[in-house]
Structure 1
């Protein structure tokens, strides 16, 4: 649905809470059509919290895989970029 949502399963190190929430937020933005929720709209934030919790459960329930994902999100992480000298 959205090419910008990063695959989080199989990352080494595992996806952080912040990465999971960012993916959930991107998903909610996409399905709602809102780039930024209205200031008084709690429904958007509640949806982000619920999707984040669901993704945590999903990632915990899926078997780990040994191969890295087809996308390479760890390269976005500061510690990986520093190690690679980028």
Structure 2
């Protein structure tokens, strides 16, 4: 069963990242969005199917949106959580 742990409370801007947002970053943002609007804090056998369908739909919509928007003039002010975690792991290694 997928975990909802390790996500931040806010969804960060993915448009304009260098390098571009990865599929994993887009899915993480979709999971955070679905978690927030559904109020599902942990998955159970009764919530998991609907939750995962919603994550796939939001991931697909977000990917299409990011692909269709024009380039951003300035990069976003914050990095996505997955990049912050990777940077922290590199510093501690």
Match of 2:55 among 18, 24, 48: 48
Aligned residues: 81
Aligned partners of 1:58 and 1:26: how far apart in 2? 17
What is the match of residue 76 of structure 1? 84
Is 1:14 the counterpart of 2:27? The answer is no
The two structures, once aligned, show a CA RMSD in angstroms of 2.3
Distance 1:22 1:75 in 2: 11
Displacement after TM superposition at 1:76 (Å)? 1.4
Structure 1 runs of 4+ aligned residues shifted over 6 Å read: none
Unaligned stretches of 5+ in structure 1? Answer: none
Paired residue for 1:67? 74
- C-alpha distance in structure 2 between counterparts of 1:34 and 1:7, whole Å: 22
TM-score by length of 1: 0.80
Deviations 1:14-40 (A, max 9, x none): 001110000000000000001122224
Listed as ranges, the gaps of 5+ residues in structure 2 are 1-7
1:71 positional shift: 2.0
- Which residue of the other structure, out of 45, 48, 51, is the alignment partner of 1:39? 45
Equivalents in 2 of 1:63, 1:76: separation in Å? Answer: 25
